[in-house]
Amino acid sequence: MNTLFDKIWDAHVVQQVTDGPTQLYIDRLYCHEVTSPQAFEGLRSRGIRCLRPERIFCMPDHNTPTHDQDKPIADPVSRAQVDTLARNAHDFGLTHFGMMDPRNGIIHVVGPEQGLTLPGMTIVCGDSHTSTHGAMGAVAFGIGTSEVEMVLASQCILQTRPKTMRITVDGQLGRGVTAKDLALYMMMKMTTSGATGYFVEYAGSAVRSLTMEGRLTLCNLSIEMGARGGMVAPDDVTFAYLKGRPYAPKGEDWERAVAYWRTLRSDDDAVFDQEIRFDAADIEPMITYGTNPGMGTGITQSIPTTEGMGEAARASFEKSLGYMGFHPGEPLLGKKIDYVFLGACTNGRIEDFRAFASIVKGRKKADGVVAWLVPGSWTVDKQIREEGLDKVLAEAGFEIRQPGCSACLAMNDDKVPAGKYAVSTSNRNFEGRQGPGSRTLLASPLTAAAAAVTGVITDPRELL
């Protein structure tokens, strides 16, 4: 009667505090440069080392510029954070994929592609989008700085056990509908608080049909529904993706691992605290119009009206639209855009670049549009060039930048100016998220590509 979540969680319980949290063993800790400095300082002040350094991997991503990475970082704050991570990794004997290391990139892209993220693991990082790794059949979630210190010191964490939710999506996703659209549709239906307090398992034929990259995108956005994390049970798609990855098991260890991983599924009679179902046929390419990821709509639809809203909800809705420069009831198709961003831990993988290239091939970037195409890792960059996608993109007027979090958040050079509209494949559209005063419309790589070549919000199905 156990869910997949129950099986992994229970296998990692060290002890249960009476009337308190669970002491949970952690298989993998990922550290980036933003949330780890204080944690390492805490260890220094107490004169202690990392308990299991071989289970901790460090890499900068938020502050890395997406150009001239072979030169010192110009911004002093960013440079200090990146240098501090390198020093901490050295001092504590931890594996560090620094800038220009061929294994470097966004931590949530690198973990799966290096085979560091494996089914059945517990994985944490001081970053909310750690939920991404759940796509491999792992229990993965973001933690705070004090908790990072706890894991560095003890390889354990104190956590309250979340409730379980299963979201089943049956049927077949339509033409031009991607995992990103599926996630934005769920958020539109459930709101950004609809899964608060839950760990979500995604199931159903539409989820099973997703590639590994698609599942990573879906689980990445779990946090935007308020969930503690999201996961997909491992299957042949997972195993094919992992086989031969640098840190994945080899030889007989691989066979043993796969035999165990095949047991990682919710029992047929498993009981979840909540069950939700959607039909894939109801989903079209999506785009957001507001200032949270739940404020989305089908691309052919109009922005909702305030009819039937309570006073508080209406005030919040109107404030959001005021920031975006939109009005209730107006269509989004044809609206002019200024920037396009392809990348982030949501959509910075090779499949996302293939999708973008499939739309822009034989076309040209629209005049006046600034496009940032940022691979999620150097491995993705290498794949882009091996597949000749760089040439397709260059012929259409696009250039590929160097890996990093880039314009997902205004913590590096890639900032969208105030008042400008950016169609972005990232995960958050909060006020100022991509730069002070910037206006973000979240969408899939296909929808972003359609906007990049037309200069306006366009249904990507018209260009497929």
**Is 134 in the same domain as 194?**
no
User: What predicted TM-score, i.e. pTM, was given to this entire model?
Assistant: 0.98
Contact present, 272 and 431 (Cβ < 8 Å): no
The reported pLDDT for the residue numbered 79 is 96
The residue range of the domain holding 176 is 163-234+266-282
C-alpha distance across the termini of the chain, in Å = 44
Residue 19 near residue 122, CB atoms below 8 Å = no
Give me the pLDDT at residue 410, please: 84
Residue indicated by tokens 């609206």: 335
Do 301 and 427 reside in the same domain of the chain?
yes
Instruction: Answer yes or no: is 239 within a domain.
Output: no
Q: CA-CA distance, 96 to 421, in Å (whole number)?
A: 36
pLDDT at residue number 334: 98
* Any domain includes 217: yes
Query: Closest Cα to residue 320, out of 222, 446, 189, 433?
Result: 433
Structural domain includes residue 181: yes
Q: Same domain, yes or no, for 140 and 223? A: no
User: Helices 179-190 and 212-220, interaxial angle, to 10°?
Assistant: 30
In sign, the C-alpha dihedral spanning 321, 447, 62, 218 is positive
Amino acid at 107: I
Nearest to 116 by CA among 31, 215, 236: 31
Is 259 part of any domain? no
Assess whether 88 and 176 both reside in one domain. Answer: no
Nearest to 349 by CA among 395, 387, 305: 387
Q: Classify each residue of 292-304 as buried b or exposed e, where b means 16 or more C-beta atoms within 10 Å of its C-beta.
A: bbbbbbbbebebb
Domain membership of residue 271 (yes or no) is yes
The strand pairing partners of 30, in sequence order, are 57, 125
**Rounded (10°) CA dihedral 155, 158, 160, 163:** 0
Task: State both tokens at 56.
Answer: 């901790």
Structure tokens at 366: 């629209």
Whether residues 290 and 423 share a domain: the answer is yes
Cα-to-chain-centroid distance, residue 289? 20
Last residue of a domain, one of 141, 160, 179: 160
Are residues 372 and 449 located together in one domain of the fold? yes
Same domain, 327 and 272: no
pLDDT attached to residue 412: 86
Is the domain of 129 the same as that of 227? Answer: no
Per-residue pLDDT of the chain (464 residues; tens, 9 = 90+): 899 999 999 999 999 999 999 999 999 999 999 999 999 999 999 999 999 999 999 999 999 999 999 999 999 999 999 999 999 999 999 999 999 999 999 999 999 999 999 999 999 999 999 999 999 999 999 999 999 999 999 999 999 999 999 999 999 999 999 999 999 999 999 999 999 999 999 999 999 999 999 999 999 999 999 999 999 999 999 999 999 999 999 999 999 999 999 999 999 999 999 999 999 999 999 999 999 999 999 999 999 999 999 999 999 999 999 999 999 999 999 999 999 999 999 999 999 999 999 999 999 999 999 999 999 999 999 999 999 999 999 999 999 999 999 999 988 889 999 999 999 999 999 999 999 999 999 999 999 999 999 999 999 999 99
Same domain (yes/no): 172, 151: no
Q: Are residues 358 and 422 in the same domain?
A: yes
Number of neighbours of residue 313 by Cβ within 10 angstroms: 11
The CB density around residue 464, as the number of other CB atoms within 10 Å, is: 12
Domains in the chain, number = 3
Are 149 and 179 within one domain?
no
Domain with residue 361: its CATH number is 3.30.499.10
pLDDT, position 189: 98
* Statement to judge: residues 323 and 364 lie in one domain: yes
CB 123 within 8 A of CB 9: no
